[in-house]
Amino acid sequence: MTRNLEEMFACRDLRTSPLVVVQVAAAARIAILFAHAGRDYLPGTAVRLRSMRAANALQRLLATVNEVWPHAFLTRRPCCCALSPDESVLADLALAALHGNRPAAIAATCELLPAASRDRIFTDMIELVDAIRATEVDPAQVGTALE
């Protein structure tokens, strides 16, 4: 029983996540922090995500989260490596979107959200992950671009 409780309450480390998950979590933290301060977060997230399309996708995702999440969405400070429980769910959704794994997305949100909300938030996450991945640089092209 103790081991299960430790696993249940353990904070996931952001540093062990794929880059796209780190980008989603970091951008969401900054956007939420700016929104609470009454500041426009789109310019800052567009720079961080290297794409206005990604910043707009993040804005849509966070609007959906704000609408369908059953409680106030909990985030950690931008400098924190540990994920909050809510951020862990978003991280699982981002990973599911990255791999096109709808069953994993449903499993991550089935106890938290109704079916229609699960589909909507997963669709928004797919759009965000796709926009982030569209900005990635192909490592094979880096050397040739400098020549």
pTM listed for this prediction? 0.85
Residues 6+ apart with CB under 8 A from 109: 89, 93, 117, 118, 121, 122
- Residue 136, pLDDT score: 81
pLDDT band at 11 (very low <50, low <70, confident <90, very high): confident
Per-domain residue ranges for the chain?
Answer: 18-135
Structure-model confidence comparison of residues 10 and 13, the more confident one: 13
Which sign does the torsion angle of CA 109, 115, 121, 124 carry?
Answer: positive
**CB atoms near residue 79 (< 10 Å):** 7
Q: Which of 117, 67, 77, 59 is closest to 93 using CA atoms?
A: 117
What are 22-60's pLDDT values in tens digits? 999 999 999 999 999 999 999 999 999 999 999 999 999
Share of the chain above pLDDT 90, in %: 78
